[in-house]
Amino acid sequence: MRFFSDNAAAACPEVLQALVDANRLDTAYDGDAWSARMDGAFSDLFGKPVRALWVTTGTAANCLGLAALCPPHGAILCHEFAHIEQDEAGAPGFFTHGAKLSLLPGDGAKLLPAAVDEACDRIRADVHQVQPAALSITNATEYGLTYRADEVAALGDLARRRGLGFHMDGARFANAIAFANADPADVTWRAGVDVLSFGFVKNGGMNAEALVFFDLDKAELVPRLRKRAGHLLSKGRYCAAQILAMLEDGLWLTNARAANGAAATLAKAARDRLVYPVEANELFVRMTATEAASVRAQGFDFYDWAPGEVRLVTSWDQDMDAVARLAAVIEAL
């Protein structure tokens, strides 16, 4: 019974069905009927005209988004534990031709306006220092915390005032929205976000993520950058079809609620051991090596995160019996 990554889960049946349905001749690249519906589907979801492009990975989504916001000689402000800093092999430096990630602290991998303000204040405007051009946050954060609309808006105000583009890495955007029971518009464009990496793969997709531009001007070059980075698929309709299937009838929220629900069950059992509140589908749980070994011996797989700390991740298709059993095991430690 595996609790180590939502990345490893299967694709949901609706996604597979969408691939079957899309399996006929159409125009190549993004000239097909499914790709043509992307802008509309996301515009409906967000309640304003947006530009939405499919890509196959979160790294590509993040880095194309950042490349649209930050020139090679600029800096992107982000949390020191952000995925773009920790887990993308330097891809932001590749896509932006050498822009700098300026790393900021913050509890639970969450950025607060004060940290951003202070970082900006420290930078002289002369040609010797790299000027900040963009701000990037992750929602839900790398430690499973969720930004509330007003928290994003405070950062958005700051970004506007400082002239920074504002990117949200939403690899687990669905989990964040499901947890906060928020209007997607409120935590994105209404709060000043210019571009969102809207994750589907961790949430039941197979290999399709969306890059959503609320600022249409900033999207202008992105189709060209996507092609230049080798991310324009010949048969793009299979990406678009997955995404459209997950938007339909709110499947993206249904899946996220399932994963969050499993996490909540475990969180209750581990309530005295939690390093952070559980606000999505990740738990960071204090556990001695002996305890962890005992849990593993009972058939549960998960990552050690730090000395005395393990990480549990639930996914859209987590078996609820296994969840109940793991909860019982943790409670019994």
- Residue 296 in contact with a copy of itself, rule: CB under 8 A: no
Q: Are strands 100-104 and 131-138 parallel, antiparallel or unpaired?
A: unpaired
Judged by CB under 8 A, which of 47, 98, 105, 277 binds a copy of itself? 98
* C-beta closer to a copy of itself: residue 101 or 267: 101
Residue 238 beta carbon to a copy of itself: minimum distance, rounded to whole angstroms: 5
Distances (CA, A) of 247 to 37, 244, 260, 281: 11, 5, 18, 20
- Residue 244 in contact with a copy of itself, rule: CB under 8 A: no
Residue 21 beta carbon to a copy of itself: minimum distance, rounded to whole angstroms: 11
- Residue 217 in contact with a copy of itself, rule: CB under 8 A: no
Judged by CB under 8 A, which of 53, 55, 77, 312 binds a copy of itself? 55
Q: Are strands 100-104 and 74-79 parallel, antiparallel or unpaired?
A: parallel
Judged by CB under 8 A, which of 27, 40, 268, 298 binds a copy of itself? 27
Per the CB < 8 A criterion, the answer to whether 79 and 141 are in contact is yes
- Residue 125 in contact with a copy of itself, rule: CB under 8 A: no
Judged by CB under 8 A, which of 160, 161, 228, 268 binds a copy of itself? 228
- Of residues 143-182, those binding a copy of itself (CB under 8 A): none
Judged by CB under 8 A, which of 140, 145, 195, 232 binds a copy of itself? 232
- For the record, the structure tokens of 285 come out as 């749980």
Residue 12 beta carbon to a copy of itself: minimum distance, rounded to whole angstroms: 9
- Residue 19 in contact with a copy of itself, rule: CB under 8 A: yes
- Residue 305 in contact with a copy of itself, rule: CB under 8 A: no
Rounded-to-integer distance, Cα 194 and Cα 133, Å: 13
- Of residues 255-294, those binding a copy of itself (CB under 8 A): none
- For the record, the structure tokens of 266 come out as 């475990």
- Of residues 31-50, those binding a copy of itself (CB under 8 A): none
Rounded-to-integer distance, Cα 76 and Cα 53, Å: 22
Rounded-to-integer distance, Cα 135 and Cα 120, Å: 11
Rounded-to-integer distance, Cα 17 and Cα 20, Å: 5
* C-beta closer to a copy of itself: residue 49 or 98: 98
- Residue 58 in contact with a copy of itself, rule: CB under 8 A: yes
Which region among 35-43, 134-142, 144-152, 200-208 touches a copy of itself (by CB under 8 A)?
Answer: 200-208
- Residue 227 in contact with a copy of itself, rule: CB under 8 A: yes
- Binding residues for a copy of itself, rule: CB under 8 A, are 2, 5, 7-11, 16, 19-20, 23-29, 55-60, 63-64, 71-73, 75, 86-91, 93-101, 103, 127-131, 201-202, 206-207, 221, 223-235, 238-239
